Structure 1
Amino acid sequence: MSVVHNDAYEAGQATTVRRGVAAIRDRDGAAALIALGDMPFVSVESVDRLVAAYRAGVGDALAAGFGGVRGNPVLFDERHFDALSDVAGDTGGREILLTDDRSALVETGDEGVLADVDRDEDLETLRDRR
């Protein structure tokens, strides 16, 4: 695992995706697991399920899901690194997940994969539900 700092984060999520992919693209057998910092309730078990599904060959563009709804984190095999290096704005790898024939939703049973915290009120609401 590597942590990569992105000084240009204010320019959108894509800058972080591109920076992360650039940091690992030369590693053999690499895959990128992208977790969003504003989703604090994603369980470790959800990440483990995503990685296990990838290792089991379920797909090479995977999204954690809850109740059939796509959430985060997401995982991309190295074959998607060129496409991820070209993303723009705040969509990240969404287009790959929606169009690739080897993409899959990995059911996690974890509502945290859908819980996005953008404001203080979001955090309070989610804390009250737990």
Structure 2
Amino acid sequence: EVNTTDPKFYKWTQWIFLKLLEKGLAYESYEPINWCPSCKTGLANEEVVSGNCERCGTPTNKKTLKQWMIKITKYADRLIDDLEKVDYLEKIKIQQINWIGKSFGAEVDFLVADSDDKI
């Protein structure tokens, strides 16, 4: 069991955060988050089910707050490839892949006005 309030644990999370900050990989930005007005907390996308907080069922809304962000895009391939090396549940690996957000594009069909044609 991990106790995130244990100084033996959080000293390492603080250390790695400072390393990310020194390398320019951590930065602050105002970003929209999922907000539960009842719990008064931000929620991950996975904690919002059909627009509601999975904890209490209250409808969520978007709230813009100052957030710490980490630049992971240049490491996306490695982060995804190395998921094979960890003993995570398959659903967690899928969440990680979706969170990393690597994509190769999309196709979109547009209807032509006054026609049955698509482009």
TM, length-normalised to structure 1: 0.22
Bigger Rg, which one = 2
Q: Which structure has greater strand proportion?
A: 2
TM, length-normalised to structure 2: 0.24
Higher relative contact order (CA 8 A, sep 6+): 1
Q: Which structure has greater helix proportion?
A: 1
